[in-house]
């Protein structure tokens, strides 16, 4: 399912490795179109930052949703100067945000576990909303 209009972009697909790239490309196109139509204005790096956040959330969703179960990306302007982006997946596991620095103040050198830390640095809020009977939205707001 896809809906695209001036205020909302929604993209639902079966979970697969294609999803994060699709979200990234389609979100960028939607934001660039909005700016061209002069519906919204923002600093130059806003689109790249928003695309990075969307990609991290989408990558996590397809990692934790069983393959081919539906995952949804949604972006909407929740306030005049804030973009809400969320990804829904059916996994009952909660996202865990790990600090970028260890207790010794040095960068953590684990192979993974950085995506949400990077996201946190780029957004105003990073939250989870559970959706009984199953799944959750992992969502962030990006002010501009
Ligand atoms: N949508 C999700 N559903 C279930 N667990 C999640 C979800 N998103 C994140 N998590 C949990 O939170 C942890 C941290 O996520 P994060 O994106 O920071 O790291 P990662 O995905 O493990 O690695 P990286 O993003 O650096 O490739 C994950 O390892 C996972 O345990
Ligand atoms: Mg990740």
Ligand 1 centre and the CA of 77: distance in Å? 25
Instruction: Ligand 1, residue 136: give the atom nearest the CA.
Output: 1
Ligand 1 pocket test, pick from 53, 86, 100, 113 with the greatest ligand atom count within 8 Å of Cβ, gives 113
SS3 100: coil
Q: Which ligand is nearest to the CA of 110?
A: 1
How many domains would you assign to the chain? 1
**CA triple 102-118-113, angle to 5 deg:** 55
103, 56 Cβ separation under 8 angstroms: no
Residue 49 binned pLDDT confidence (cut-offs 50, 70, 90): very high
Least confident segment among 96-100, 112-116, 121-125: 96-100
Q: Residue 129 is part of which domain span?
A: 2-143
pTM check: above 0.85: yes
What are the DSSP E strand ranges found in the chain? 2-4, 8-14, 70-79, 82-89, 125-130, 136-143
What is the rounded average pLDDT of the residues 10-35? 96
Confidence (pLDDT) at 120: 93
Residue 2 binned pLDDT confidence (cut-offs 50, 70, 90): low
Provide the CATH number for the domain around residue 63.
3.30.565.10
What is the rounded average pLDDT of the residues 105-122? 85
């Amino acid at each position: 399912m896809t809906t695209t209009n001036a205020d909302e972009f929604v993209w639902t697909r079966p979970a697969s490795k294609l999803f994060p790239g699709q979200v990234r490309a389609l979100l960028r196109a939607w934001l660039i179109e909005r700016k061209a139509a002069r519906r919204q204005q923002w600093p130059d790096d806003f689109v790249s930052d928003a695309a990075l956040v969307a990609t991290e959330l989408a990558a996590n969703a397809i990692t934790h949703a069983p393959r081919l179960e539906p995952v949804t990306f949604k972006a909407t302007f929740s306030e005049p100067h804030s973009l809400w982006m969320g990804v829904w997946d059916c996994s009952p596991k909660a996202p865990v945000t790990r600090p970028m620095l260890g207790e010794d103040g040095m960068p953590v050198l684990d192979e993974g576990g950085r995506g949400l830390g990077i996201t946190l640095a780029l957004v105003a809020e990073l939250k989870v909303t559970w959706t009984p009977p199953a799944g959750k939205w992992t969502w962030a707001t990006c002010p501009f």
